[in-house]
Amino acid sequence: MQQGSQVTAKAGGGRLIGEVQAKRGLVMIGAMQEKDSKTNAAGGQTLGQNAYAEMARRIKDWGQELGFAAIGIAGADVSAATPRLMAWLALGRHGEMDYMAKHASLRADPGRLLPGTLSVISARLTYWPEAADAEKVLADRELAYVSRYALGRDYHKTVRQRLQALADRLRGDIAALAPAQPFSCRVFSDSAPVLETELARQSGIAWRGKHTLSLTRGGSWHFLGEIYTNLPLPPDAPIADHCGDCRRCLDVCPTQAIFAPYEVDARRCISYLTIELQGAIPVDLRSLIGNRIYGCDDCQLCCPWNRFAGLGDADFAVRNGLDAMPLAALFAWSEEEFNRRLAGSALRRIGHQRWLRNIAVALGNAPGSPAIVAALASRQDDPSPLVREHVRWALAQHTARGV
C-alpha cells in the first residue's frame, strides 16, 4: 500500500506513450546501436551496458506516464528474505493460507516463475481515496468499516493492466533497438508467489515497516506490482528503514497480531479473519473486530508517515457509499445484490456468506438498539450454518447487555 501524490493515468495513455517514445526512439536507436551495441554469434545486434542504463531511465518515465508513483529495479536474488519467510511458515503463522506454504519455493526463486529472470521492475501505485473520515467511521459502531484499499475498483485489474502496458512498451523498445536480443517478461499484481515487499525494498521504492507492509516517506497507502524480465537492467539502490524507535503500529493493533517489530501472526490479524479465513471466526477475537467487516487499517492509520499521504489514483474512488454505510443496510443485501453492487470490487472475493458472517460479528459489537437486533433476527434462519452461528453469537451479545 502506498501514498503520496500521483499522476492519474488518462484514457489513451498507452497511445500517448507510443507517440512520445516513437519520437524519442528514432534518436535513441541510432545512438545506441552505434555507441553501445555488440554483435552476437548469429550476426544480430544486442544491447550493451549503457543502453540498458538508458532503458531503465525510460522505463521509469513510462511508469510515471501510466500513473505509477514510483518505479524501481532490483536483481532477482531474494535469498536474504527467505529465512524469515520459512520460519514464519514453520511456526504456522500463515493460518489457513495454505498457498503460502505450498508455493514458498517459488517466492524464494524468481527464476522458477520466469526462467532466466535477471531483473525485477517493481512498481508502486497509490490508492488513498477521498472518503469519509476513517477514524470517525471506526468510532461509530453502527457503520461498517471497509479497508480503504477495497472501496473502489479491484486493484488486481488496475495494477496488472498498467504493468502490462509498461511491459508491452518495453517489448516494443527491445524489438526496435535490438531485434536479435532475446526478451521475456511476466507481469504480477498480487497474483503469484512473489516477495513483493522485499523486491520493493531492493528496488528502492519502499522499505518494510514494522507492521510488515511496504512503507515510504509518503506513507503506506499503495499497491505493489512487478515485472520479471530476463534483461540485465542496472539495479537501483535499496531504500533504508525509517521507522526508527516508533512502535505505534504494534501498540494499536486491536488483536495484538503484530506481536513484535516485523512479525505478524496472521491467525490474529483482522484482515486475515475477515478475508482469508473460510470458516468461523474464533470467538475470543470477535469482540476485538469491532465494526471492521473487510480488512483492517489501524496499523496504517496511526503511522506518522501517512500524515504526508496524498489522494491516490482515480480508479480507487469510493463506490456504493461503502466508506460509511450502516451495517444493517449491508446485512440486508441479497446474494444477487451483493454480486451486482460489488462487480469489479475486491470485496466480492469473500462471497456473500462470509460477507454476512463478518457483518453479523460487527452487528454483535454494535450498540444495542431495536433496529440492530431486528437486522440480526432477520438472518436467524439463514440457509448457511456459518451465518446462523455468527448471528446467534451476535444476538447473545445484545441479550447479555439487556437489549
User: Tell me, what CATH number does 358's domain have?
Assistant: 1.25.10
- Asked if pLDDT for residue 335 goes beyond 80, the answer is yes
CB atoms within 10 A of CB 199: 27
Work out the pLDDT band at 244, boundaries 50, 70, 90: very high
- Active-site residue list: 190
Higher-confidence residue of 20 and 280: namely: 280
Minimum mean pLDDT range among 22-36, 90-104, 334-348:
22-36
- Work out the average pLDDT over 392-396: 98
The answer to whether 46 and 180 have CB atoms below 8 angstroms apart is yes
Judge if 120 and 219 occupy the same domain: yes
Work out the pLDDT band at 42, boundaries 50, 70, 90: very low
296 in a known ligand binding site: yes
190 in a known ligand binding site: yes
Task: Check residue 360 and give its pLDDT.
Answer: 98
State which of 317, 337, 360 marks the end of a domain. 317
Task: Check residue 46 and give its pLDDT.
Answer: 67
Residue 402 to residues 283, 332, 373, Cα–Cα distance (Å): 20, 24, 12
Residue 174 to residues 29, 179, 185, 267, Cα–Cα distance (Å): 10, 7, 12, 45
Judge if 252 and 122 occupy the same domain: yes
Judge if 275 and 391 occupy the same domain: no
The answer to whether 199 and 122 have CB atoms below 8 angstroms apart is yes
Task: Check residue 19 and give its pLDDT.
Answer: 38
CB atoms within 10 A of CB 296: 24
Contacts of 340 (CB under 8 A, 6+ apart): none
Task: Check residue 284 and give its pLDDT.
Answer: 98
Judge if 340 and 214 occupy the same domain: no
Residue 355 to residues 220, 265, 284, 388, Cα–Cα distance (Å): 26, 23, 20, 13
Task: Check residue 402 and give its pLDDT.
Answer: 84
- Asked if pLDDT for residue 32 goes beyond 70, the answer is no
Judge if 273 and 365 occupy the same domain: no
Q: How many domains does the chain have?
A: 2
Judge if 114 and 231 occupy the same domain: yes
Helix 49-65 with 13-35: angle, nearest 10 deg = 170
CA proximity to 122, closest of 65, 182, 76, 183: 76
Task: Check residue 181 and give its pLDDT.
Answer: 87
303 in a known ligand binding site: yes
- Asked if pLDDT for residue 41 goes beyond 90, the answer is no
185 in a known ligand binding site: no
Judge if 306 and 347 occupy the same domain: no
Judge if 135 and 209 occupy the same domain: yes
Task: Check residue 180 and give its pLDDT.
Answer: 86
CB atoms within 10 A of CB 44: 12
The three grid cell numbers given for residue 388, joined into one nine-digit string: 446462523
Distance from chain centroid for Cα 87: 23
Residues paired with residue 228 on neighbouring β-strands, in sequence order = 120, 186
Share of the chain above pLDDT 70, in %: 89
Share of the chain above pLDDT 90, in %: 84
153 in a known ligand binding site: no
In angstroms, rounded to a whole number, what is the distance separating the alpha carbons of residues 226 and 204?
Answer: 13
pTM equals 0.87
Domain enclosing residue 214, as ranges: 1-317
Q: Three-state SS for 78?
A: coil
Q: State whether the Cα torsion 303-307-309-310 is positive or negative.
A: positive
Q: Give the single-character DSSP code of 262.
A: T
CA proximity to 120, closest of 166, 153, 66, 173: 166
CA proximity to 281, closest of 373, 355, 379, 382: 355
Average pLDDT across the chain, whole number = 90
Task: Check residue 38 and give its pLDDT.
Answer: 53
- Asked if pLDDT for residue 76 goes beyond 60, the answer is yes
Task: Check residue 20 and give its pLDDT.
Answer: 32
- Asked if pLDDT for residue 15 goes beyond 50, the answer is no
- Asked if pLDDT for residue 203 goes beyond 90, the answer is yes
Helix (H) or strand (E) holding 395: helix 385-400
In angstroms, rounded to a whole number, what is the distance separating the alpha carbons of residues 72 and 59?
Answer: 9
- State the greatest distance between any 2 C-alpha atoms of the chain, in Å, as a whole number: 85
Task: Check residue 175 and give its pLDDT.
Answer: 93
Judge if 151 and 282 occupy the same domain: yes
302 in a known ligand binding site: no
Judge if 56 and 190 occupy the same domain: yes
Task: Check residue 134 and give its pLDDT.
Answer: 98
Work out the pLDDT band at 40, boundaries 50, 70, 90: very low
- Asked if pLDDT for residue 373 goes beyond 70, the answer is yes
The three grid cell numbers given for residue 87, joined into one nine-digit string: 520460519
Q: How are beta strands 185-188 and 222-229 bridged, if at all? A: antiparallel
State which of 300, 317, 334 marks the end of a domain. 317
Task: Check residue 295 and give its pLDDT.
Answer: 98
In angstroms, rounded to a whole number, what is the distance separating the alpha carbons of residues 124 and 197?
Answer: 11
In angstroms, rounded to a whole number, what is the distance separating the alpha carbons of residues 142 and 363?
Answer: 7
The three grid cell numbers given for residue 308, joined into one nine-digit string: 504526508
CA proximity to 150, closest of 302, 350, 330, 4: 350
Q: Give the single-character DSSP code of 210.
A: T
- Asked if pLDDT for residue 55 goes beyond 70, the answer is yes
Judge if 257 and 395 occupy the same domain: no
State which of 261, 293, 317 marks the end of a domain. 317
- Asked if pLDDT for residue 337 goes beyond 50, the answer is yes
Judge if 7 and 142 occupy the same domain: yes
Q: How are beta strands 145-146 and 119-126 bridged, if at all? A: unpaired
